[in-house]
Amino acid sequence: MNIQDPAQPIFRALADPTRRAILAMLASGDRPIGDIAAKFDMTRPAVAKHLAILKEGDLISVEAIGRERINKLNPAALKTAQDWLNHFDHFWDDRLSKLKQAVEEKK
């Protein structure tokens, strides 16, 4: 099927619970890495790796201000994941209509 899948770095980034928690945290405000790392039970370098993976998927962007690097959520990339999932809605509708049809025929 799709060898080169543009959604791959996004779904890869979303696969880890820490990274999803970071995204949720950034939804309530831009934050530097130190702030983020303080909320988790792991070292800062570990959080830095997670941020790097989120950045690879373009789920966040980073802006350097002085010696701080502010991490910001980029909702556009999340939309790519939503779009992929939305394709299954047609399937969902089909199932429902087939079920309805089956019920009709039983009557």
Question: Which residues of this protein are in contact with a second copy, per CB under 8 A?
Answer: 1-3, 5, 7-8, 11-12, 14-15, 17, 20-21, 23-25, 27, 39-40, 73, 75, 78, 81-82, 84-88, 90-92, 95
The residues, any chain, with a CB within 8 Å of residue 46's CB and separated by 6 or more, are 37, 40
21 makes contact with DNA (CB under 7 A): no
Single residue of 5, 43, 93, 100 touching DNA by CB under 7 A: 43
Judged by phi (left if over 0) then psi (alpha if -120 to 50, else beta), residue 47 lies in: alpha
The DSSP call for residue 40 is S
- The CA distance from 10 to 84, in Å, is 11
Residue 12 near DNA by CB under 7 A = yes
Binds DNA (CB under 7 A): choice among 1, 66, 87, 103: 66
Q: Is 69 in the site for DNA (CB under 7 A)?
A: yes
